[in-house]
Chains A and B, each alone.
Chain A
């Protein structure tokens, strides 16, 4: 279990986000750009559709024999001189990393962008034992300096303008008067972070994949921070969800062909780094120690659970960009590590379905996410199942449950339906204006606050049919 990041209700978070004009503009520009780039990349790549099917089949096949592939991965990482750790919870994962940091006397950790370490809230834990965590992905670095949280899986700082970044760098890095120029700001970040890379003892990363048959951890970055973190510090720790294992290098080639296209529209990200244990004899650089932390944190229970398919997720962010809800409210409003449609499922997986009793409804079920997903995860289906589960477990508010139970009862019985229509026709009178119901009293008002309803017609279809 991971504790929620924010405590205000979703409605309030969403309302705040909707009122933020700058955020809105930034989201609109970013998501539209990503959608276009992704579409162009796949238009240029006719075999893409078939590779998506293959990638999906590989994920499914791996899950069906997950124990075998994990054992193979562990054996191979150990054969190469690496160490493998098993973490059932976020807390265990943190303790493992902290143990390694303490034992090796680490003072500073450089982090390559990693959702898994976000998920286990590693930074605060490192800080608490006197290890300074430094985010090195430019977007994450900006977020860290601003003491904020990422708003998009692959573009964490899309909610910040260059002016805000210039101001932030000027203040936090003691370099007053920096211009609002991305080129200059990127150069400043390069200088600052280069120093950190050369000083740091600990390189912290996630892993996009781990190839079982060769014990290979795979990191994909555009900036090169993944390469830095795995080359320069004397200890490298990779934290990875168990579902990231894939059988072979042949499989890896399939995923690489679709991952970057889905995320940023690139044919391949700039750097794909395959790491096979610590530095080998004769090598000039690379860590003395390599640790792989395999993270459960709710994943294993879904192998046989309703959210199984969300274990296929590659964390590309394509479903965020196309989601009409995400595009309006952005990542922060979701309130947890993983935003967007897939984020709702991952949050339910990590924190239990109770954590998404509101979020599960933050979707129009339009299906754009499932269509954009490189491995065709059926997100809407699982959202519906989550809603059903919440109903069964009585997690939803009682008013909602009573209303929908009653509604279901009425729809199932022709007799009740006829009576209901008649009652509705009378009961609606005070609320109908121009043929629409625009405002309802009591808690029904939640519904009509942002929507209206067609009024029950003066004569129902059935009544008219009888007269024909």
Chain B
């Protein structure tokens, strides 16, 4: 087997053959990404209605279903409507603290089985059981760390209480977000990613960040667009005008 030292030595030998072919530089990184992100967020907070409108139109362009409610108190009713229209019986969700709104009591009262994901480590047997529950669920509810107007994309960071498969295994995914998540462009997502990786990661941070742009799709059979091949067939976003309880 080739060792790291041998491998890098070979690369250096080859590099030595082309010293300074021509100058090129990677993209310039922000010097203090956290501060830059804070400043950006303040700027963006003034134009959130435009951002939201762009997000809505792009999200719908990629076959997302957009909903808007005045306050967090209306979220459970909106969810219940989505569930009722699809005869949903089993829901898995991020816990209320991670969502910024409690949905389980209302859905439970409507006769829907709701399982909230644990926010700490669980034994392996419980992990297996929960995986089965998520795989069998009809609908998964999550929050969103970013909502990107330019592309209609939702960005979700995994963590304890924020399992990756809640937005993946059920045939329907609903993400709840507010104006704090809105950014305009992929470039701004780049800044957010820089800020999140500036310094040591918070201990509760998970190992995966997912960008989700519409429902799972394929065109592999005769280029016919088909949805829901591995991930959800449907994706909904509920925007809360009055904001969600801050969860971090």
Chain A residues within 8 Å of B, Cβ to Cβ: 26, 29-30, 33, 54, 56-58, 60-62, 64, 66-67, 70-71, 74, 80, 84-88, 92, 95-96, 136-139, 142, 155-158, 160-162, 165, 182-183, 185-187, 189-190, 193-194, 197-198, 213-214, 222-225, 227-228, 230-232, 242, 246-254, 256-257, 264, 266-286, 290, 294, 296, 300-305, 308
Knowing A231-B165, A270-B216 are in contact, say whether A282-B10 is a contact too (CB < 8 A).
Answer: no
Chain B 7-34, CB within 8 Å of chain A: the 1/0 string? 1101110111110111011111110000
A155/B223 in contact, CB under 8 A: yes
Knowing A92-B1, A267-B213, A268-B213 are in contact, say whether A284-B127 is a contact too (CB < 8 A).
Answer: yes
Query: Total number of A-B contacts with CB less than 8 angstroms?
Result: 283
In whole angstroms, what is the CA distance A302 to B17 when docked? 10
Contact of A278 among B11, B203, B207, B223 (CB under 8 A): B207
Closest to A303 in B: B14
Nearest Cβ on chain B to A138's Cβ, whole angstroms: 4
B168/A250 in contact, CB under 8 A: no
Contact of B164 among A157, A227, A249, A302 (CB under 8 A): A227
A252/B231 in contact, CB under 8 A: no
Stretch of B73-81, B103-111, B150-158, B237-245 contacting A (4+ beta carbons < 8 Å): B150-158
Chain B 128-168, CB within 8 Å of chain A: the 1/0 string? 00110001000000000000001111000011110111001
25 contacts between A and B (CB under 8 A): A58-B24, A64-B24, A155-B223, A186-B218, A223-B218, A227-B230, A231-B164, A231-B165, A248-B27, A250-B190, A254-B27, A267-B62, A270-B231, A274-B208, A276-B209, A280-B159, A283-B159, A283-B163, A283-B206, A296-B2, A300-B14, A301-B14, A303-B14, A304-B14, A305-B14
Across the interface, which residues of A come within 8 angstroms of B164, CB to CB? Answer: 227, 231, 283-286
B211/A268 in contact, CB under 8 A: yes
Nearest Cβ on chain B to A51's Cβ, whole angstroms: 9
Closest to B191 in A: A250
Closest to B18 in A: A304
B216/A185 in contact, CB under 8 A: no
Knowing A67-B8, A280-B205 are in contact, say whether A162-B26 is a contact too (CB < 8 A).
Answer: no
In whole angstroms, what is the CA distance A438 to B152 when docked? 58
Nearest Cβ on chain A to B209's Cβ, whole angstroms: 4
Closest to B200 in A: A79
In whole angstroms, what is the CA distance A33 to B192 when docked? 35
B127/A285 in contact, CB under 8 A: yes
Across the interface, which residues of B come within 8 angstroms of A74, CB to CB? Answer: 4
